[in-house]
Amino acid sequence: MRENDRKSGQFVVPGERLGVIEEFIPGTGTYTKDGVIHSQITGRTLLDMLNKKVSIYPLIHGVSVPKIGSIVAGQVSNVQSKSATLRISQIGNKFLSGNFTGILHISDASLDYVDIMYDVCKPGDIMRAKVISTMNRTHHLSTSERNLGVICSFCSHCGHMLTLQERGLRCPKCGKIEKRKFASDYGKG
Ligand SMILES: [Zn+2]
């Protein structure tokens, strides 16, 4: 860290010189050697000018981007007869700041034959899916496995959240029964 770079938010790597103990108190993510404070980790600096303390905020390695095999979750934004579009907001348990779009084609939606995409999901539903291809910068998704599919959905008649009952998804408010390709743990999340 150069003298004039001494502010919070500077990107540093392990071993990088942060200052000397005469100037700063070494905080978390730092170590001291021969009176010089170094960063122990990759991260960003946090300078507490009041207490003259330097700490490093760790950066999570690698920017989260859905890859082949990633389990993602997101909201269905558009449904056509043979495909649906998902706004991916989560990879595993990690919420994303960026926006990724996923495409689910009807042939990858279920192991059973599906006639029309509206029997798989509807706009507004939350789905869990697996990324099967990232060709042409599009995330192609599959929901055919048992644990994949709709995990939260809403009644197309009254908008109430559908609950999983013995015979499928049902609206507890108006009684409407709806078709979805739902995940085996629907409603338990
Ligand atoms: Zn309803």
3-state secondary structure the chain: CCHHHCCCCCEECCCCEEEECCCCEECCCEEEECCEEEECCCEEEEEECCCCEEEEEECCCCCCCCCCCCEEEEEEEEECCCEEEEEEEEECCEEEEEEEEEEEEHHHCCCCCCCCHHHCCCCCCEEEEEEEECHHHCEEEECCCCCCEEEECECCCCCCECEEECCEEECCCCCCEECCCECCCCCCC
The token pair that represents 2 in the structure block = 């150069």
Distance 137 CA to ligand 1 centre (A): 37
Whether the domain at 3-58 and the domain at 71-178 fall into the same CATH topology: yes
In this predicted structure, what is the pLDDT of residue 107? Answer: 97
The CATH-assigned architecture of domain 71-178 is Beta Barrel (2.40)
Distance 157 CA to ligand 1 centre (A): 5
Distance 160 CA to ligand 1 centre (A): 5
Cα 104 from Cα 85, distance rounded (Å): 6
The mean pLDDT values, 10 residues at a time, for the chain of 189 residues are: 68 91 93 93 87 84 76 95 94 77 96 95 96 89 97 94 91 96 88
Distance 167 CA to ligand 1 centre (A): 16
Domain 3-58 has CATH 1.10.1040.10: no
In this predicted structure, what is the pLDDT of residue 62? Answer: 52
In this predicted structure, what is the pLDDT of residue 179? Answer: 95
Distance 152 CA to ligand 1 centre (A): 14
Q: Where are the domains of the chain?
A: 3-58, 71-178
Distance 145 CA to ligand 1 centre (A): 27
In this predicted structure, what is the pLDDT of residue 13? Answer: 86
Distance 154 CA to ligand 1 centre (A): 8
Distance 169 CA to ligand 1 centre (A): 11
Distance 50 CA to ligand 1 centre (A): 57
Distance 171 CA to ligand 1 centre (A): 5
Distance 63 CA to ligand 1 centre (A): 40
